[in-house]
Copies of this chain bind each other. A is one copy, B any other.
Amino acid sequence: MRVSTRGEYGVRAMFDLALNYGNGPIPLKAVAKRQLVSETYLEQLLGALRRAGLVSSTRGAQGGYELAHPPERITVGQIIRVLEGPITPLDCLDTDSGSGPYCGQPDQCVLRGLWKNLQDSMERVLDNTTLEDLRSKAIRLGVAQGQ
């Protein structure tokens, strides 16, 4: 039931880019330093987020990364899905095509309801929290580190 560091660091990095949204590309090095994440590791994560269309990059000197959309249009759920795969407690909830609604055993549809409830409640939180929500809260608390 844990988020791995991929998801955790990825959200931190995206939060950082949200705070700096509108200031042009931000070098990975700056994000890594502020968010206390290894540069080489973060490179992997931002690469995946770029390929998924959540950030855009500019190469070369004065280059860097920026959000591909305004902060209010990017949710934490999107970020987690790119970095950790589907948000689901059990794989069979997503691939119900393969094993049918019963997961192979009739009584499992009882337990399936349980796991589905859990999935829904996780997705409800993650899909309804945008980077803008996090940004405005940071500003309200006065912890937004500019640029």
Q: Does chain B have a CB within 8 A of A141? A: yes
Question: Are B121 and A138 touching (Cβ within 8 A)?
Answer: no
Q: Does chain B have a CB within 8 A of A145? A: yes
Q: Which residues of B contact A107 (CB under 8 A)?
A: 15, 138, 143-145
List A residues 74-121 near B (Cβ within 8 Å): 76, 80, 84, 87-91, 104-111, 113-115, 117-118, 121
Taking the closest CB of chain B, its distance from the CB of A93, in whole angstroms, is 10
Question: Are A141 and B110 touching (Cβ within 8 A)?
Answer: yes
Distance of A121 Cα from B35 Cα, bound (Å): 26
Q: Does chain B have a CB within 8 A of A125? A: yes
Q: Which residues of B contact A115 (CB under 8 A)?
A: 3
* A2-B88, A2-B89, A84-B1 as given contacts; A134 in contact with B121, CB under 8 Å: no
Q: Which residues of B contact A114 (CB under 8 A)?
A: 11, 76, 125, 129, 134
